[in-house]
Amino acid sequence: MDNLLLMLAPLFSSKLLLVLFFGTLFGLILGVLPGLGPTTGGALILPFTMTLDPLSAIVLLTSIYCAGTYGGAITAILINTPGTPAAAATCLDGYPLAQKGEAGRALGMATVSSTVGGIFSVIILVFFAPLLAKLAYEFGQPEYFALAIFGLTMLASIGDGNPIKNLIAGAFGILISTIGKDFMTSIDRFTYGINELSEGIGFIPVVVGLFAISEMLTQSTLLDQVFKRVALKAVKLPSINDYKQTWKTILRSSGIGSFIGVLPAEGGTVASLIGYSEAKRFSKKPEEFGKGSIEGIAGAEAANNAATGGAMVPTLALGIPGSATTAVILTGLIIHGVRPGPDLFREQPEFLYGIFGAMLIANILFFIFGFFGAKLFARITLVPNKIFCLWNLFIKSINSRCLDNDIFWSTWIFYEKIWLFSCSGYYRIDIRRIS
């Protein structure tokens, strides 16, 4: 009971509430803007948190994390470009549904399932954190190997395309990750004497190549087609039947996401893929997946937001980041002199439960912003494709240029092959997820 009261502490502090409000809104905007995301946003805002007290700083970062993870679904649904990697699986059904003129329905379902997933994971975090942390800590190499194989086998069932093509795309993704120096021996692989390739190809250039550039090339072939745009009056939110149809999927994916999130280094991306795949496996209408299934959106979104709470468990309990964004949060903790680990639970419970409470409130806040802003966000589809594709490319290019300095390779290496792959039914998500 004391712990629950500690969780409500942020509600009684106007400063924390303000930080939460700003963090959620900022996270949502970061998630919506293609090319940015909670990891980049968290890293960018980290220096500014120095002026805040430790709790406010971590509350700001965690609210960005929660809202940013959800925000990625908005562009995934509206323009087929996930704002965050964790929303990649949402593209598979969100975008087809938006093309059918049901963008609002897709956005509404993403909002509700993200919120349920997020709140579920916070509850798990509060009640089962010590137990889950212990379980994840006991994972050895055989268990991680089994998990990796499990993830790879998921590729075969993703999308409605040919499973063999999915596997080829997955193998190509792993091949990309072998470029650069071999970690064990420091021997160059596929570098062709070019220094920039020695460090491998960064995550952001891969995303640029896979999503922004290939999308631009695809759009260039569709200029003569007139798409049915989403008129504001036509935006329809999910019906009661939609919720009846998806509540089991949402709960299942919330459980999956929380568990996957707890495993160190397995973030929302893996969670959303497994959540999506399991939603398809249990669905009564698996044939609709990839063509605009509402269950697909619910499965992916509940899982990736559930992973946010899960990922905080090893971060706080063991000092091992559960995902890329929690690595930034971990840095924030260290900068502010908070030492993560089992002792944190014993010595500073008010700090920990303050974070849990803030995450809970952030989930509720982004629900309000997202649900009531669905019609506003749907306006993005009114922007001509040519403008949005360019915007998408610019932002991602700038990110690559500033963060990885790898735009040269992203454009040169990927565009032709990726476009060829996606046109021929090879899933971009398979390549991206693996690399």
Partner 1 sequence: MNNVQNKKRANKSLPFFFKDEFKVSFIIIFISTILLITTFTFDIVPPILNRGIQPATFPKALLVLIITLTMIIYYLAKKKPWKIEKKLPKTFFLTLLSFIFFVVISKTLDFFLAISVLSIFVSYNWGEKRLFYLLLVGIIFPAIVFVFFETILGLRFPPGIITNIYYN
What letter does residue 180 receive in the DSSP assignment? E
Shortest Å, Cβ 48 to partner 1: 9
- Does position 223 bind partner 1 by CB under 8 A? yes
| Vertex 399: Cα angle to 394 and 400 (nearest 5) | 100
- Does position 52 bind partner 1 by CB under 8 A? no
d(CA 73, CA 95): 10
Report whether 70 contacts 309 (CB < 8 A). no
- Site size toward partner 1, by CB under 8 A: 49
For residue 181, give the H/E element and its range: strand 180-181
d(CA 116, CA 363): 8
- Pick the stretch among 106-114, 127-135, 218-226, 240-248 that binds partner 1 (CB under 8 A): 218-226
Lookup result for tokens 């390549």: 431
Ranges of beta strands (E only) in 187-332 are 188-189
Return the number of the residue (170 or 299) whose C-beta is nearest partner 1: 170
Return the number of the residue (65 or 351) whose C-beta is nearest partner 1: 65
Entry field: residues in the chain: 435
Binders in 140-179 for partner 1, by CB under 8 A:
162, 164-165, 167-168, 171-172, 174-175, 178
Return the number of the residue (57 or 360) whose C-beta is nearest partner 1: 57
Shortest Å, Cβ 223 to partner 1: 6
Q: List the end-to-end C-alpha distance of the chain, in Å, as a whole number.
A: 44
- Does position 392 bind partner 1 by CB under 8 A? no
d(CA 111, CA 114): 5
- Does position 217 bind partner 1 by CB under 8 A? yes
The one among 100, 189, 236, 248 contacting partner 1 by CB under 8 A:
189
Shortest Å, Cβ 388 to partner 1: 11
Q: Helix, strand, coil: what percent of the chain each, to 5?
A: 75, 0, 25
Shortest Å, Cβ 214 to partner 1: 11
d(CA 203, CA 328): 16
The one among 53, 182, 287, 350 contacting partner 1 by CB under 8 A:
182
Helices (H), 80-212: 88-99, 103-137, 141-155, 163-177, 203-207
- Does position 184 bind partner 1 by CB under 8 A? yes
Return the number of the residue (358 or 407) whose C-beta is nearest partner 1: 407
User: Under the rule (CB under 8 A), what is the footprint of partner 1?
Assistant: 44, 47, 162, 164-165, 167-168, 171-172, 174-175, 178, 182, 184-185, 187-190, 192, 213, 216-217, 220-221, 223-224, 386-387, 390-391, 393-395, 397-398, 401-402, 405, 407-408, 411-412, 415-417, 420, 423-424
